Structure 1
Amino acid sequence: MNLKNAVPLAILCLGLLFSHAAAAGSLVIGTISDESVKETRIFLPFAEYLAAQLQEEGITAGEVRIARNIAHMAELLSRGEVDVFVDSPLVSLAVRARCGSRLVARRWKKGVAEYRSVVFVRRDSGIQSLEDLKGRVIAFEEAFSSSGYILPRHSIATQGVQLAAMSGPRAERPADATGYVFSGDDENTIEWVLRGLVDAGAMSLRGLKRRAGDDFGSLEVLLETESIPRHVVSVSPGTTAAFSSALQAALVSMDQGNEGRKVLESFERTTKFDAIPDQTLDMLDEFEKPVTALIGGN
C-alpha cells in the first residue's frame, strides 16, 4: 500500500473507531444537590433502568452526576458529561438559558403532574392584598426552591411589588418595600406566619394544605400562581433527535411494565412520565427570561 494514502486511511479508521466509542457508553443522569450520597442513591436505579432500555442506542451502563449549582450543571451538559437532567422546570429553564439544553418530558413526582404556589397570611392579620405587604415581611423557603421561592417571587414581581432581602425576621423592615427572609423549610414558614414572626409566607398550595392541617382555616391566600410541571426532564444540547425520541419513549413507557413501575416507585414515588403539553411549553418559554434574571447562575 502507498504510505501516502495509508496515513489518511488510518486517520479515517481511528476517527470511525472513536466516533463509535463515543456513541457507546454510559447514560449519565444529572441533578443539582448538596447531598450527593443521598441523591445518587435515589437516582442510580432510575439511571440503570433507562440504560437497559437504551442498549440499541449504544448505552451500556447508567451513572449519576451531581452538580453544585445551576452554572455547574450547565457546564456539565455543555461538555456532554451529563446526558439527562431532571429537576424542577424553573431551575431547568435557568440551565437551558446557559447551555441550550432541551425539555423532553414531564415527571409526575409523587403522583403530581403540576402544582401552583401561593402567598398566604393569617386570616386575622388585616392584610388583604399584596400591596398591604409593603413595610412587612414574607418568608420563602430557600433560594433554590421553585415552589417556595422562585415561582411565587416571580408572580409577586409581576404585580409590581418591590422585595428587599433581610438578614432575619427580626431585622429592621424596609419602609418602601416588602422584606423577605428564608425560613429553610415549609413547616418553618407556616409556623412563622402563625406565630406572627413574619407577616406572610409562600409555598405550594398542596404543601400548605397538607402541612398546615387544622391550622389551614386560620390562614388566607393572597395570591395563587399559574400551574407549572412538578418536574421536567432535559437533554444535553448535543443530543441527537433520534436519541431524544428513544429516551422519551423509554420514559413514557415506564409505567406500563412491572419493572418500570417498581423503579418509578423507588424514584421518589414517581407515577409516570409523559410529554409536556404544548401550552405548558409555551408558558415555560415565557418564564425563561424573567426566571433566569431572578436566580442567575447560582
Structure 2
Amino acid sequence: MHTRRCFSFAMVLLSGLTLLVWLGMMPRTPAAGDASAIRAGPAMHGPLLRLGIVPERDIFRQRQRYRALAEYLSQRLSRQVELRTVRTYQDVIEDFREKKVEAAFLGSLVAVLAVDQLDAQVLLKTQLPGGICSYRGVIVVPEDSPIQSVQDLRGKRIAMVRTTLAGHLFPMAEFSRHRWLDDPSAAPTPLWVGTHDEVIGAVHAGQADAGALKDLRLHELEKVQQPKLRLRRLAISQAVPENALVVRRDVVDPLGAELAAELMKMDSTPQGRAVLEQFGAERFVPCSLEEYSAIYEMSELLAARWNAIGLSGAPPVRRPGAATSRSSWLLPQAGPPNGA
C-alpha cells in the first residue's frame, strides 16, 4: 500500500509539473474551440496545413514529438504546418466537421468515426521501433487484487478514457458480453479520466479497482516504473492499427497524397530518420479500413446502446472491404504484448 501511495504521489507531482511547463509554453492568445495551436517552421508560401493531435500521454512530451515532425513537413511541403492540440477525442471529430484541421493523427476508434461520420480517409499508420504497427486494449488490476477475471468486476469501479478503443469501446463490449448493460446495477462503474496515464494513476491511487487502456502505453510505463508498477491483465482485445494519419476527404487530392508521400519516404534520408527517431517511430506505412475489423464488430454489438454508453452520433457502419472475415474482438488467450 505504501508503494502505491508513493507511486500515486509521484504521478500527481509529475502531472502537476508537466501542466505548469505546458501552460508556460502556451501562446498568449488561445485558438478558438479550447484547442491550443503552435506554429512550426519558417513562413512559407504554400497554404497553411493544420494538423490535429490528441494527447494520450504527457502533454508536454507529445507536443515536443509532433513539433519536430511539423517542422520537417513544413520544410518539405513548402507550407506552414500548424499543430492543433485538442482536449478530447470527440473534439477532434468536431474540428474535422468544422474544417479547423486538414489532417490529424488519430487513435483507431476516432479514425473509424471520422471515416464514417465525415467521409475522411485513412492513409498511413505509424510503425514504432521493433516493427510494431498495432496495439490492443487491455483491462488490468493490481497484481495483489482479489479480482481474478472480468466476471469479478461486477459492481466494481473501472478507470476508462472516453471515445477510445482501449479505454471505452473494448470494456463496454466486455460488459455487454457479460450482460451487464441490461442490468446497470451490476455493471462496473466507469471512472472517466483524460488519458491512458491517468488510468494507471487512478488504479494505483485506489480510486478504481481496475483500468482499461492501451497496451503500448502500459508497456512503456511498466519499463519505467518497475518494480513499483505491477499489474495483471484480465482481458486483451484483438489488435487494431497504431495511430493513423487521417485526412479530410475534400483535401485528399492533392494535399493528402503529398503529405503521405513525404511521410512514407522519411526513413530513406538522414534528416528524415533523425526526425523519426525524435518522434519515436521507425517509419510510416499504408493503412486500410480492413485493419479495423475489431472496432466494427464491437460497434455492431453495442449499436443499440451506442449513445447510452456515452458515445456520440451513430455507430460506424461496416463498409464493403472494411473486414474480410468475422472474428471475436477478444483475444482468446494472452499472446504477445501486441500484434504487429
Aligned mates of 1:274, 1:189 — CA distance in 2: 35
Shift of 1:151: 4.4
The range that moved more, 86-95 or 115-124, is 115-124
2:311 pairs with one of 278, 295, 298? 295
Distance 1:139 1:50, change over 3 A: same
Question: Do the aligned residues in 1 keep the contact of 2:142 with 2:203 (CA within 8 Å)?
Answer: no
Distance 1:288 1:52, change over 3 A: farther
Shift of 1:191: 1.6
Structure 2: segments with no counterpart, 5+ residues: 1-44, 314-340
Structure 1: segments with no counterpart, 5+ residues: 1-22, 165-173
TM superposition score normalised by structure 2: 0.61
Question: Do the aligned residues in 2 keep the contact of 1:49 with 1:62 (CA within 8 Å)?
Answer: no
Distance 1:187 1:245, change over 3 A: same
Distance 1:287 1:61, change over 3 A: farther
Shift of 1:239: 2.0
**Per-residue deviation, residues 228-282 of structure 1 (Å, max 9, x unmatched):** 1221110012024454333222211111111112222333x12211112564144
Task: Say how many residue pairs are matched.
Answer: 255
Shift of 1:26: 2.0
Find the counterpart in structure 2 of residue 153 from structure 1.
171
1:271 pairs with one of 269, 275, 282? 282
TM superposition score normalised by structure 1: 0.68
Which structure has more RCO (C-alpha within 8 Å, separation ≥ 6)? 1
Question: Do the aligned residues in 1 keep the contact of 2:141 with 2:203 (CA within 8 Å)?
Answer: no
Aligned mates of 1:143, 1:50 — CA distance in 2: 30
Question: Do the aligned residues in 1 keep the contact of 2:168 with 2:212 (CA within 8 Å)?
Answer: no
Question: Do the aligned residues in 2 keep the contact of 1:70 with 1:95 (CA within 8 Å)?
Answer: no
Find the counterpart in structure 1 of residue 291 from structure 2.
280
How do 1:245-256 and structure 2 match up within 5 A? 245-256=257-268
**Per-residue deviation, residues 192-221 of structure 1 (Å, max 9, x unmatched):** 4xx6x64333233444454263367x6542
Question: Do the aligned residues in 2 keep the contact of 1:254 with 1:260 (CA within 8 Å)?
Answer: yes
Is 1:120 paired with 2:140? yes
Is 1:258 paired with 2:270? yes
SS in 2 for 1:239: helix
Question: Do the aligned residues in 2 keep the contact of 1:77 with 1:237 (CA within 8 Å)?
Answer: no
How do 1:1-298 and structure 2 match up within 5 A? 24-32=46-54, 41-55=64-78, 60-70=79-89, 72-109=91-128, 112-122=132-142, 125-140=145-160, 142-143=161-162, 146-147=165-166, 149-162=167-180, 175-182=185-192, 185-192=198-205, 198-209=208-219, 210-211=221-222, 213-214=226-227, 219-267=231-279, 269-276=280-287, 279-286=290-297, 293=307, 294-296=310-312
Shift of 1:226: 1.2
CA RMSD of aligned residues (A): 3.7
